[in-house]
Amino acid sequence: MLTLAVDIAREAGEMLLAKRPPRPEVLATKSSPTDIVTALDKAAEELIRSRIAQARPGDAVLGEEGGDTPGEGAVRWVVDPIDGTVNFLYGLPDWAVSIGVEVDGEIVAGVVNNVPRGQLFTAEKGEGAWLDGERLSCNTGVPLDRALVATGFGYGADRRRVQAEVLAQVMPRIRDIRRSGSCAVDMCSVAAGRVDAYFERGTNYWDHAAGGLIAAEAGARVGGLRGWPVHPDLIMSAAPELFEELRDLLIPLDPDHD
């Protein structure tokens, strides 16, 4: 299934690069005027769904644009056709096709194709995380005050206001912040040691299904804020010792509320 996911993610990425106009048009908005959908989001998901249906017609699919399509067995594909749609719209280089494979409710394989950079991240449960044939390992032994931390922001004004207030308290306690605009890319950046940690409020399952497995298979801890598993209220990822330090910094700041 990982091989199939890789093939589909590559095909979708090639289609998106070939068909992306100089200025893609916004097709619709979702939760706010800044939460956008382009025609190519939908086209890419339709391509991915069709390829899955051809190869494995009994499997379920959960996609950002098309919702949840039930299947006949234990396998469900979790698809974000373009994670980082605003980057895609503006021609910025961090957007990705993300495909996770879930069996009996657990993600067991995942691929994140960072298309503009030509980088394909993969992971299989228990088999490690990989970037173009090189095994990945997250950074370890980094104290909080030396940590480069990735984060993202929500679409609603009220949520962004709270996130800015939290960030103002976090910034003096860490090395610096990075903002790629893609949850999937951020999780892979943790896996590859390009950042030390990541946290964000308001991500969806399709945003982190594949990237979360890639980070975990690279040695990172992936979870929620208050001892919870991954949750839309807040997702975190870092090496285990840094995860705990960042969590202890965040909890008093109450970052999981609007």
In angstroms, the CA 250 to CA 231 distance is 15
Question: What is the distance in angstroms between the CA of the first residue and the CA of the last residue of the chain?
Answer: 39
Q: What angle do CA 172, 251, 177 make, to 5 degrees?
A: 35
Active site residue 83: yes
**Would you say 72 is a known binding-site residue?**
no
**Would you say 82 is a known binding-site residue?**
yes
Name the active-site residue from 59, 64, 124, 245: 64
**Would you say 52 is a known binding-site residue?**
no
Name the active-site residue from 41, 59, 80, 102: 80
The b/e string for 66-101 (b: 16+ C-beta within 10 A; e otherwise) is: eeeeebeeebbbbbbbbbbbbbbbeeeebbbbbbbb
**Would you say 64 is a known binding-site residue?**
yes
In angstroms, the CA 89 to CA 85 distance is 6
Active site residue 207: yes
Active site residue 48: no
Name the active-site residue from 82, 107, 174, 235: 82
Contacts 24+ apart (CB under 8 A), 223-228: 225/250, 225/251, 225/255, 225/256, 226/251, 226/256
Structure tokens at 42: 């939908």
Name the active-site residue from 45, 196, 207, 217: 207
In angstroms, the CA 239 to CA 138 distance is 7
Structure tokens at 208: 């982190």
Name the active-site residue from 41, 59, 65, 83: 83
**Would you say 207 is a known binding-site residue?**
yes
Residues comprising the binding site?
A: 64, 80, 82-83, 207
**Binding site, annotated residues for Mg(2+):** 64, 80, 82-83, 207
Active site residues: 64, 80, 82-83, 85, 207
